[in-house]
Amino acid sequence: MENQISDDPAAVTDNVPATILVADDDPDLELLVTQKFRRQIRNGEFHFICVRSGEDALEKLKKHDIDVLVTDIKLPGIDGLSLLSRLKSEYPLIRSVIISSYGNMRTIRRALNLGAFDFLTKPIDFDDLGITITKTIEEALALKQAVKDREHLAALHRELDIARRIQLSMIPGIFPAFPERSEFEIFGEIITARNVGGDFYDFCMIDDDRLYFAIGDASGKGVPAALFMAVTRTMVKADAVKGLPPDRCLSEANKILCMENEFSMFITVFTGVLNTRTGEIVYCNGGHKLPFIIRAGSGPELLDNTEGIALGVIGGDSLYGLGNVKLEPGDGIILYSDGVTEAMDKGGHLFADKRLGDLLADDSFENPRDTVGRILRDVEEFSRGVHLKDDIALLAIRYNKS
């Protein structure tokens, strides 16, 4: 006999009936179950399957998605304890209720040790039957939901890991980036506070003499920031390789971002072009942290700012200005996101621009990779024991040509 009967709608998820397999050679138990849930029999929330032997129970376990097994210890053929043993090894998500006669506590203890969730004693009490089955169904469905949630979380982690690898594949990560070029050296590093982040750096050769470079920091964290960053990075770079000056690159990207920015996100971007023959850099700052210029034989200094705000805030023309600076042989430029200077120690103190400037003043800047590595080590030491709250991006360029 198979009925669909219900006692507790809250125990059923996604409108799928909980399936209870009842194994007992006493036909009265089948009638008792039907009688107990007679008012809910038409709800279709519980699905009862009743069998009379252990062999039949095993067949139903193979063919149906069972949530709860209610079984007498004494069954024709395979007994209830053997069924419990099979559940434990083959169907670990099924919860079970054992039925036993009065005074058979030793056997009940054996059943509990085999994993039984609860037990009923004969003659079965009407109210006890309802409470026990309902409680066991709730436990079984909660367990299955927990397993689904864990699997979903694992799948999400796999997707985020793929997203992280895709994101990092978009950012230049092979160094030395231009081993055939002696006029300059370049090195960058990204550290995300989550699986994916909103910081980026980028660079490429526009032609034989001009190196495009950029750094940016999108508002927010995680996947939304990463997507916003990826769109912005692509737009700015696409215009740069067409030969547009940095101010035009940011202006054009800003117009598009402001037209299609439903969630009011924004991104700061600094971009420039280095003429590798002359050492001249033309640049534009869209609300980003100002880079440090490293002069050979003198301390670091912040680059002069240009007119410009973060992208995605307001549209319009003439929002971005153009600046220029000339590097001499041995000079360099350090671009960074605020994840560096806003790193925090246990006392709540910020790493701050001054500390970064002092660090650069003591650095010989012979090699961009070494300088970036030193900055990251200092930030890590400063914030030891404190979880990284913001992404970090660093890009260092050293000009060599005389």
- Read off the CATH number of the domain in which 89 is found: 3.40.50.2300
Does 300 reside within a domain?
yes
- Judged against a pLDDT cut of 60, whether residue 7 lies above it is answered with no
Confidence of residue 13 (pLDDT cuts 50, 70, 90): very low
110 & 203 share domain:
no
What does the pLDDT average to over 203-210?
97
Per residue in 87-104, pLDDT tens? 989 999 999 999 887 557
Name the nearest CA neighbour of 393 among 171, 175, 145.
171
Copy the structure tokens of residue 275: 């003429």
What does the pLDDT average to over 41-49?
78
For the domain that residue 214 is a member of, what is the CATH number? 3.60.40.10
- Judged against a pLDDT cut of 60, whether residue 301 lies above it is answered with yes
Q: 258 or 260: whose pLDDT is higher? A: 258
Per residue in 118-136, pLDDT tens? 988 888 887 888 889 889 9
pLDDT of residue 15: 67
Rank 72-81, 103-112, 340-349 by mean pLDDT and report only the highest. 340-349
103 & 214 share domain:
no
Nearest-angstrom CA–CA distance, 327 and 332: 7
79 & 202 share domain:
no
- Judged against a pLDDT cut of 50, whether residue 11 lies above it is answered with no
pLDDT of residue 271: 98
Per residue in 358-386, pLDDT tens? 999 999 899 999 999 999 999 999 999 89
Counting the structural domains of the chain, the total is 2
287 & 178 share domain:
yes
Residue 396 has, within 13 A of its CA and on its CB side, a CA count of: 22
**With contact defined as beta carbons under 8 Å apart, do 111 and 98 qualify?**
yes
Strand partners of residue 324: 282
Kind of pairing between the strands at 18-23 and 392-399: unpaired
**What is the value of pTM for the model shown?**
0.72
287 & 387 share domain:
yes
Copy the structure tokens of residue 186: 């370049």
Name the nearest CA neighbour of 204 among 254, 163, 238, 253.
238
- Judged against a pLDDT cut of 80, whether residue 350 lies above it is answered with yes
pLDDT of residue 402: 62
Per residue in 175-206, pLDDT tens? 999 999 999 999 999 998 877 788 999 999 99
What does the pLDDT average to over 289-316?
93
128 & 188 share domain:
no
What does the pLDDT average to over 279-305?
94
Q: Which of 16-20, 71-75, 226-230 has the lowest mean pLDDT?
A: 16-20
Question: Of 92, 117, 149, which closes a domain?
Answer: 149
- Judged against a pLDDT cut of 70, whether residue 321 lies above it is answered with yes
Confidence of residue 238 (pLDDT cuts 50, 70, 90): very high
pLDDT of residue 44: 80
Confidence of residue 153 (pLDDT cuts 50, 70, 90): confident
- Judged against a pLDDT cut of 80, whether residue 333 lies above it is answered with yes
Confidence of residue 41 (pLDDT cuts 50, 70, 90): low
pLDDT of residue 165: 78
Confidence of residue 4 (pLDDT cuts 50, 70, 90): very low
350 & 386 share domain:
yes
Does 202 reside within a domain?
yes
Does 232 reside within a domain?
yes
Copy the structure tokens of residue 7: 């006692």
pLDDT of residue 10: 41
What does the pLDDT average to over 241-264?
93
In the chain, the percentage of residues whose pLDDT exceeds 90 is 60
Nearest-angstrom CA–CA distance, 67 and 83: 14
Rank 26-30, 33-37, 159-163, 299-303 by mean pLDDT and report only the highest. 299-303
pLDDT of residue 5: 40
pLDDT of residue 23: 92
- Judged against a pLDDT cut of 60, whether residue 2 lies above it is answered with no
124 & 39 share domain:
yes
**With contact defined as beta carbons under 8 Å apart, do 41 and 12 qualify?**
no
pLDDT of residue 324: 97
Q: Which of 55-59, 209-213, 388-392 has the lowest mean pLDDT?
A: 388-392
**With contact defined as beta carbons under 8 Å apart, do 221 and 199 qualify?**
no
Nearest-angstrom CA–CA distance, 156 and 115: 31
Residue 20: domain span: 2-149
179 & 323 share domain:
yes
188 & 302 share domain:
yes
Does 40 reside within a domain?
yes
pLDDT of residue 8: 42
What does the pLDDT average to over 15-24?
86
Nearest-angstrom CA–CA distance, 330 and 400: 5
In the chain, the percentage of residues whose pLDDT exceeds 70 is 95
